[in-house]
């Protein structure tokens, strides 16, 4: 695994054509996941930074693992795909010095179906796909509990809920944990699927067509992550300022209307 990871990160570094230790400070490499967060960068953040003289390279990943390794090992200057719970757990588990820079407008996790038009159509034997990574699976289980399909044990931490915390099934449903990126494809085979907002949008689904959306808490708002050692560097301040700008707020209102806005965007609108 370590050899594979090292080779992948080395290949990424070669692909972007410059070393993190000997490159122009005006050259930035930002990793992201395909879909809305890549679109936010392409349409909003990249143009703002380029007006300030930066050369910005975007690298898209199709998993939640490699972007943090690539950031920690220097192939990326920042990444945009995760929330603070995932970042903290991943950084702790792998002993990586990564930190949150700023939260961003976030698409909620939601329930979709191509076989049913209502959640009232759930019955015995209904199959429900949900993320298999712990933090996003917890979000899905909390929504299932709120919907009354399952009962979580008393005093279950909603940020850490797992299948082991299910005290009872109020509906005889079958849960099918899958990698988050595979969930949109699962709609052909299951009754309902919990799909992260970025993968839903990237697959052509519309947030407004979901059957149930979570109300995003600050813990699940996506963020820009950087190396902890870079928090006070000028490029980090400029990335944060780009997200805080009125220009980016206008883009959010135009293209990302169903997303949960950040506190700084809500303050700008007042």
Task: Let me know whether 55 and 21 are in one domain.
Answer: yes
Same domain, 191 and 132: yes
Residues 75 and 136 occupy one common structural domain? no
What's the whole-number average pLDDT of the chain? 91
**pLDDT for the residue 22:** 47
Clarify whether residues 78 and 205 are in a common domain.
Answer: no
Residue 16 has pLDDT above 50, yes or no: no
* 12 and 72 housed in the same domain: yes
Instruction: Find the helix packing angle between 234-244 and 246-255, rounded to 10°.
Output: 50
Q: What is the CATH number of the domain that holds 158?
A: 3.40.190.10
Residues 117 and 175 in one domain: yes
Same domain, 210 and 227: no
Q: Does one domain contain both 118 and 37? A: no
Do the bridges between strand 174-178 and strand 166-169 make them parallel or antiparallel, or are there none, so unpaired? unpaired
223 in the same domain as 202 = no
Q: Helix or strand or coil: residue 132?
A: coil
Domain span holding position 18 = 2-106+219-269
Give dist(CA 145, CA 165) in Å, integer. 11
Do 97 and 230 reside in the same domain of the chain? yes
> Each residue of 74-85: pLDDT tens digit?
999 999 999 999
Last residue in a domain, options 170, 185, 215: 215
Mean pLDDT value of segment 122-144? 94
Count of the separate structural domains present in the chain: 2
Question: What is the mean predicted confidence (pLDDT) over 149-171?
Answer: 95
| Distance, first Cα to last Cα, the chain | 50
Residue percentage of the chain with pLDDT more than 70? 91
d(CA 46, CA 55): 9
Residues 114, 101: one domain?
Answer: no
Q: What is this structure's pTM?
A: 0.78
User: Are 159 and 183 contained in the same domain?
Assistant: yes
């Amino acid at each position: 695994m370590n050899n594979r990871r090292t080779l992948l990160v080395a290949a990424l570094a070669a692909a972007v054509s410059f070393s993190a230790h000997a490159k122009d400070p005006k050259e930035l490499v930002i990793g992201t996941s395909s879909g809305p967060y890549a679109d936010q960068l392409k349409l909003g953040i990249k143009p703002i930074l380029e007006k300030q003289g930066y050369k910005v390279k975007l690298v898209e990943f199709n998993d939640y693992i490699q972007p943090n390794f690539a950031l920690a090992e220097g192939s990326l200057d920042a990444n945009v795909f995760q929330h603070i719970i995932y970042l903290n757990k991943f950084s702790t588990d792998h002993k990586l010095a990564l930190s949150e820079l700023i939260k961003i407008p976030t698409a909620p996790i939601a329930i979709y179906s191509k076989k049913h038009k209502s959640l009232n159509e759930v019955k015995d034997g209904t199959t429900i796909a949900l993320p298999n990574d712990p933090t996003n699976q917890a979000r899905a289980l909390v929504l299932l509990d709120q919907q009354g399909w399952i009962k979580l044990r008393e005093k279950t931490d909603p940020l850490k809920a797992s299948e082991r915390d299910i005290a009872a099934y109020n509906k005889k449903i079958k849960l099918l944990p899958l990698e988050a990126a595979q969930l949109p494809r699962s709609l052909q085979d299951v009754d309902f699927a919990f799909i992260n907002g970025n993968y839903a949008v990237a697959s052509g689904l519309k947030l407004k067509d979901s059957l149930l959306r979570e109300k995003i808490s600050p813990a699940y708002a996506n963020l820009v992550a950087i190396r902890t050692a870079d928090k006070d560097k000028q490029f980090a301040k400029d990335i944060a300022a780009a997200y805080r700008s009125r220009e980016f707020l206008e883009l959010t209102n135009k293209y990302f209307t169903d997303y949960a806005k950040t506190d700084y965007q809500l303050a700008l609108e007042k």
